[in-house]
Amino acid sequence: MSALAGILAERGFLVSGSDPRPSPVLEQLRTAGVRVFQEQTAATIAAVMAAEGAPMVVISSAVPAANEELVEARRRGLSVVHRSDVLAALINDQPSIAVAGSHGKTTTSTLIATLLEAVGEDPTAVIGGIVPAFGSNGRHGQGRLLVAEADESDGSLVKFNPRLGLLTNVELDHTDHYPDLASLVATLQRFASGCTTLLANRDCPVLREHFQATSWWSTRSSEGIDFAAIPLEERGDGTLATWFEQGVALGTLEVPLPGRHNLSNTVAAMAACRLEGVPFADLRQAVAGLRPPGRRFDCRGLWQDRAIVDDYAHHPSEVAATLAMARLMVESGRSPLPLVPRRLVAVFQPHRYTRTAQFLDDFAAALAHADAVLLAPLYAAGEAPMAGISSPALAEAVRALAPDLPVAVAASMEALAELVASGTGPGDLVLAMGAGDVNSLWDRLGALDEHERPSALVA
């Protein structure tokens, strides 16, 4: 929503909005001329209408029907549209690259936008995370291309008709919206049918079986593949790989993002740029400056000689990939962090009862690869509780798989900070994962009083 607001303001629209929580993003919007209300009440609609006339009201799927602003807008007969309708208008209005799939959308779209900017394409970007090269999640560029993250969580991406569609991978998720994998596949097939050109990940079995891509990429094989990067050396601070096009090796790449999943994201981004005509030599040079978006293995700093890292991973596959990348740092002795970690402590916050219930055993299997596991209280995201689904239940599942693994559960976010303080030591990589408020861990650690620490923990 904030990315769209910023772009529309830059394009000359009068834009207003509301958010009760202060943030740097809101300050950026104010600087761009967006009127930001802190209250979400009927009065904000009246204030906007008094100053600017009848607005179009844009909502996301997160806005409940009982929201006072939305109720007032409908009472006044104002036009109410979904954010996907606005994004579709932007995507369909100019040559665009839309990135969809279960995992890696934000990172891949960030990398595409970063590479295009580095080679002088000056793209417009609408992305779900902060792009380091731009300092924001949205950007109004003067170039010909628009890069957008196409979120599948509510099915609204079927409205998009990009010139180039990109599919990273497909796994069942968002079980509050999709009853099974087949329904998710059907939605993504509708998205794919609206793309002029489709670029997809050949390493994903679901994509191989259910999609007919115009071009494929891979990190496993170059045979019969349009774009591939085959690893020569995988380290905790990056990957050295050979780049192939149509099976022909064009040279080596130094990818500064560790982990096989990040290599795949980078190949996808480079392939998209190649399909848009960007020379390989230019991309090879630009790759060295790649950085992940905010909340993707985002090192917040050192706290008492522990590296505190924030990551958005909230699906078992994402947790497993993030832990595997962190393990590379421990085992290879090389790391982009301020220290080379000696031990990997997973701090995880389950997100949504439906997702936790669906993947409880898978989460446990992923977390069992850490050296210690600390669990935050489950983040409901507005869902009603489900019997037997909780962070303690996940802890028991982890213990069943790895009886010797230290596992603890915090009763509150404040207690989680205390648990990190008492249960970790110098040299540890404390990896906080989840889509809820676990990203507040860094601030909570900073606020800890060394002499008066809470002890509200659940064994």
Q: What is the pLDDT of residues 276-323, one digit of tens each?
A: 999 999 999 999 999 999 999 999 999 999 999 999 999 999 999 999
| pLDDT at site 344 | 98
All residue ranges of the chain with pLDDT < 50 are 451-459
| Cα 26 from Cα 456, distance rounded (Å) | 34
Spatial separation of the C-alpha atoms in residues 251 and 272, rounded to whole Å: 18
Return the structure tokens found at 141: 């560029």
Q: Is 246 helix (H, G, I), strand (E, B) or coil?
A: coil
pLDDT for 436: 95
What's the pLDDT score for residue 21? 87
Q: Give me the pLDDT at residue 449, please.
A: 55
Give the CATH H-level superfamily of domain 2-78.
NAD(P)-binding Rossmann-like Domain (3.40.50.720)
* Contact between residue 283 and residue 270 where contact means Cβ atoms under 8 Å apart: yes
**3-class secondary structure, 361:** helix
pLDDT for the residue numbered 10:
95
Residue with tokens 């990203």, as numbered in its chain: 439
**pLDDT confidence of residue 360:** 98
What pLDDT shows up at residue 83? Answer: 96
Q: What is d(CA 217, CA 222) in angstroms, rounded to the nearest whole number?
A: 8
Half-sphere exposure of 314 (CA within 13 A, CB side): 24
Locus of tokens 């909230």: 314
What does the alpha-carbon distance between residue 62 and residue 70 come to, in Å, rounded to a whole number? Answer: 12
Domain ranges across the chain: 2-78, 85-289, 298-458
Token readout for 119 is: 């080679």
**Per-residue CA distances from 424 to 8, 342, 432 (Å):** 46, 11, 13
Domain 85-289: state its class: alpha beta
Neighbours of 232 (CB within 10 A): 11
Task: Report the distance separating Cα 227 and Cα 220, nearest Å.
Answer: 11
Dihedral through CA 205, CA 211, CA 213, CA 217, nearest 10?
Answer: -10
- Give the phi and the psi of residue 354 in degrees, each rounded to 5: -60, -45
Note the CATH architecture for domain 298-458. Answer: Alpha-Beta Complex (3.90)
Dihedral of CA 349/353/354/358: which sign?
positive
List the catalytic residues. 105-106, 149
pLDDT of residue 450: 52
